[in-house]
Amino acid sequence: MPTSESRPPLALALARTAEAVTAYIEGAIARSGAPGERLAGAIRHATLAGGKRLRPFLVVESAALFGVCADRAMPAAAALECIHCYSLVHDDLPAMDNDDLRRGRPTVHRAYDEATAILAGDGLLTLAFEILAGEEDDTDPAVRLALIASLARAAGVAGMIGGQMLDLAAEGRFAQGALHRAPLDLSAEAIIQLQAMKTGALLRQACEAGALLGQASPAERASLDRYARAVGRAFQIADDLLDVEGEASLVGKAVGKDAAAGKATLVGTLGIEGARAELTRLTGEAEAALASFGSAATLLVEAAYFVADRRN
């Protein structure tokens, strides 16, 4: 496991990528042609304030394994972050999670209104593909096409959207004749599959984008994908642990299965200690997956531990 002395470089690298991708997205919004201030303002609200920028970081660092510089990776990183931000805007809507706060600020539909939030999300979804297809960068057209296909698959019905649908179904939203919404009792395997689609697909796409930009060999792509799968699973378990711990502190009760009621989570299935043990296993898996890259992959390995340990 990386020592605490080796953590500052990760924090620096995350901050550097966050700054670069934020500036890139800001420029893309300015060039987008959004009419008037309301739509552009809502899109800026959704993208420019806060966020760990973990997915762009994974794009940049995966590409760096193959000697691709951060500037060349930036369109793919920004496009992926646009998709991520759109998913958060739509996930927060009353029809989905109905959240008031995101990244410590009012959600887009609270700061603006529901229709504007829907359109801002849609705008970000399409802006992502405009960025990838854009003429201003000189990425090989075959690589660009592969990036577009990869992002579309990850964000689409076989990826994030499909996972979100499974998640809503798991909450019992579509149960016919149910008087009250009753969560389905999913197996651990079903939860893992749902989460691999809902949140894992975009994290995997980040590493796939780096591999595509770097024209990685099949073996290198497979190693990165093994890493990304482990990171995706760790990310979701850490997220669910944060939810459970946050809820328990709010209601002042012991952390446990009840706090996660209504959500299909591995914390609910494995318990807190089981989930923490799974996190330890997954970080080891992520580290092992990148062994063949040696010290070039140090930041990516550290990122896996950061994802598992994160507090927000």
Which positions touch ligand GRG (CB under 6 A)? Answer: 51-52, 54, 87-88, 90-91, 96, 103, 160-161, 164, 198-199, 239
Q: Which is nearer to ligand GRG, 14 or 213 (CB)?
A: 14
The alpha carbon dihedral of 186, 173, 161, 127 has a sign of negative
Q: Which is nearer to ligand GRG, 155 or 212 (CB)?
A: 155
**What length does the chain have?**
312
Q: How far is the CB of 26 from ligand GRG (least distance, A)?
A: 16
Query: Rounded distance, CA 242 to CA 44, Å?
Result: 27
Q: How far is the CB of 241 from ligand GRG (least distance, A)?
A: 12
Q: Which is nearer to ligand GRG, 127 or 216 (CB)?
A: 127
Q: How far is the CB of 196 from ligand GRG (least distance, A)?
A: 12
CB 47 within 8 A of CB 64: no
Q: Which is nearer to ligand GRG, 198 or 204 (CB)?
A: 198
Q: How far is the CB of 162 from ligand GRG (least distance, A)?
A: 10
Query: Rounded distance, CA 276 to CA 272, Å?
Result: 6
Phi first, then psi: give them for residue 105, nearest 5 degrees. Answer: -130, 165
Q: How far is the CB of 224 from ligand GRG (least distance, A)?
A: 19
Query: Rounded distance, CA 33 to CA 130, Å?
Result: 12
Residue whose C-alpha is closest to residue 103's, from 161, 51, 152: 51
Q: Which is nearer to ligand GRG, 169 or 288 (CB)?
A: 169
CB under 8 Å to 36, separation ≥6 — which residues? none
Query: Rounded distance, CA 292 to CA 226, Å?
Result: 12
